[in-house]
Amino acid sequence: MTDWIYLDNNATTEPLPEVIAAVAEALREHYANPSSVHRFGQGVRHRVECAREQVAALLGAQAKEIVFTSGGTESINLALRGLLSMHPERRHVVASAVEHSAVLRVMESLERHGYCVHRVGVDADGRLDEAEFNARLSDQTALISLIHANNETGVIFDVERLSRLAVACGAAVHVDAVQSAGKLPLDVSRWAAHCVSISAHKFHGPKGVGALYVRRRTRLEPLIVGGRQERELRAGTEPVADIIGMGVAADVVRTTMPEMAARVSALRDRLEAGVLRSVPGARVHGVAAPRLCNTSNVGFAGLAAEGILILLSEAGTCASSAAACSSGALEPSHVLKAMHVDPRSAHGAIRFSLSRFNTDAQIDRVVAELPRLVARLGRLNGERPTEEASP
Cβ proximity of 204 and 13 under 8 Å: yes
**According to the 3-state scheme, what is the secondary structure of the chain?**
CCCCEECECCCCCCCCHHHHHHHHHHHHHCCCCCCCCCHHHHHHHHHHHHHHHHHHHHHCCCHHHEEEECCHHHHHHHHHHHHHHHCCCCCEEEEECCCCHHHHHHHHHHHHCCCEEEEECECCCCCECHHHHHHHCCCCEEEEEEECECCCCCEECCHHHHHHHHHCCCCEEEEECCCCECCECCCHHHCCCCEEEEEHHHHCCCCCCEEEEECCCCCCCCCCCCCCCHHHCCCCCCCHHHHHHHHHHHHHHHHHHHHHHHHHHHHHHHHHHHHHHHCCCEEEECCCCCECCCEEEEEECCCCHHHHHHHHHHCCEECECCCHHHCCCCCCCHHHHHCCCCHHHHHCEEEEECCCCCCHHHHHHHHHHHHHHHHHHHHHHCCCCCCCCCC
Amino acid (one-letter) located at 60 = G
Annotated catalytic, 325? yes
Catalytic residue (choose from 116, 169, 318, 325): 325
Residue 261 falls in which region: left (phi positive, over 0), alpha (psi -120 to 50) or beta: alpha
Q: How far apart are CA 189 and CA 229, in angstroms?
A: 24
Catalytic residues, by residue number, are 325
